[in-house]
Structure 1
Amino acid sequence: MNFPQGGGCQCGSVRYEISGPPSVVYACHCTECQRQSGAAFAMAAVIPGEHFRIAKGKPKMFLRRTSPVKTMECWFCADCGTRLYHVPGGSAYPNRNIKPGTLDDTSWLSPTIHFWARSAQSWVRIPEDATRYETQPDTLAWTGPDISASP
């Protein structure tokens, strides 16, 4: 994979650029991610904040409660609704969990961690060499700072 890489929404109103590789690419099989993605699971590529920038447009944000005490910023295109990235735990979290399907080049993507595997669709095959969690991991240290937040 070469950097920088670009990505954006379906209509082209919002574009972003990443200038470095993700710390991890993961798949979440929780029912909330299935609903949000409209698919069997959702993926995220965790990009250090210093390697992410909005190059065009202005995404809109809604705050989703992930527990009684936790929230997640969910950023999307206000024109076409494409979900672009998440910020678990809010602005204190330094990384951007981009929706990797919004990248222009997705050929290099392969999730190495799968969580909420107990909610995975029965036909989904998680690779044997992938790290697997039946629910939410106790720590998300592999995403950057050790925070306890929802994907």
Structure 2
Amino acid sequence: MGVLCHCTECRKMTSSAFSTNVVIPVSEYTIHGSPKNYTFTRGDEKHITSFCGECGTTISKIVEGIDKFKGLVVVQAGTLNEGEGLDNLKVDTELYVKNRADWVKQIDGATQVDTA
């Protein structure tokens, strides 16, 4: 599932207007190397963000406290190998659309959600 997130934290982590993500089951996720983690909370939510300790690239997030993310990992689409990421991504959902930059247009056919 492809998800754009317009929340303030994702905008800051990606230095962009939104983050582009692929949401997959944790059981199908493998990361190589030794990433570092940064954790932030938003209300009852806990976001455990993994990033490369060498270059600082954000790799993925585990979100706790939101039932629909249980057992899933949110992977930054730009970190996936060719053919697995951006080229074949269909964005199904946009999150935190209330924070969307005015100049960013909504994705036709994607579910629009004010929060997560």
TM normalised by structure 2 equals: 0.84
Alignment-mate amino acid for residue 80 of structure 1: C
Identity percentage over the alignment? 27
Number of residues of Structure 1 aligned to a counterpart in Structure 2: 110
Aligned CA-pair RMSD: 1.8
Secondary structure of the 1:107 match is helix
**Which structure would you say has the larger Rg?**
1
**Aligned match of 1:57:** 33
Alignment gaps of 5+ in structure 2: none
Pick one of 115, 137, 151 that aligns with 2:95.
115
- Partner Cα separation in structure 1 for residue 71 and residue 107 of structure 2: 29
**Aligned match of 1:32:** 9
Alignment-mate amino acid for residue 78 of structure 2: G
The offset of 1:108, in angstroms, is 0.3
- Partner Cα separation in structure 2 for residue 70 and residue 130 of structure 1: 24
**CA distance change for structure 1 residues 107 and 128 in 2, over 3 Å: closer, same or farther?**
closer
Pick one of 136, 139, 144 that aligns with 2:115.
136
Matched, 1:126 2:106: yes
CA deviation digits over 1:37-69, x for unaligned, max 9? 111111221111111112x311111211122x3
Counterpart contact for 2:35–2:53, Cα < 8 Å: yes
Matched, 1:88 2:88: no
TM normalised by structure 1 equals: 0.66
Pick one of 42, 54, 57 that aligns with 2:19.
42
Counterpart contact for 2:91–2:107, Cα < 8 Å: no
Alignment gaps of 5+ in structure 1: 1-23, 138-151
- Partner Cα separation in structure 2 for residue 57 and residue 81 of structure 1: 13
**Aligned match of 2:54:** 79
Alignment-mate amino acid for residue 92 of structure 2: T
